[in-house]
Amino acid sequence: MIIQELKLENFRNLSPTTLKFSSSFNYVLGVNGSGKSNLLEAIGLFGLGRSFRASGWRQMLQHEQAFYRLEALCQCDGVEQRGLIYRDQSMRQQQLYFDDERVGSSIAFVDHFPIQDIHPESGQLLIDGPSERRRYLDWGAFHVKRDLFAQAWRRYNQALQQRNHLIKFNEKKKRVVFI
pTM of the predicted protein model: 0.69
What pLDDT, on the 0 to 100 scale, is given for residue 122?
Answer: 76
User: What is the average pLDDT across 28-40?
Assistant: 90
Query: Does residue 175 carry a pLDDT above 60?
Result: no
Residues 6+ apart with CB under 8 A from 121: 52, 53
Does residue 144 come out as left (phi exceeding 0), alpha (psi in the -120 to 50 range) or beta?
Answer: alpha
**Confidence at residue 80, expressed as pLDDT on a 0 to 100 scale:** 93
Residues pairing with 87 in the sheet:
68
Cα–Cα dist 3/19, whole Å: 10
pLDDT digits (tens, 9 = 90+) for 68-125: 999 999 998 889 999 999 988 888 888 899 999 999 888 788 888 877 777 677 777 8
The per-residue pLDDT for 84 is: 92
What pLDDT score does 178 carry? 59
Could you tell me which of 83, 58, 59 has the C-alpha nearest to residue 4? 83
Given a cut of 70, is residue 179 above it in pLDDT? no
Please check the confidence at residue 31 and state whether its pLDDT lies above 90. Answer: yes
Q: Do residues 167 and 177 lie in contact, with contact meaning Cβ atoms separated by under 8 Å? A: no
Of the candidates 66, 68, 70, 55, the one whose C-alpha atom is nearest the C-alpha of residue 89 is 66
Strand, coil or helix: 79: strand
Residue 10 scores a pLDDT above 90: yes
On whether the CB atoms of residues 85 and 42 are closer than 8 A, the answer is no
Mean per-residue pLDDT over the chain, rounded:
84
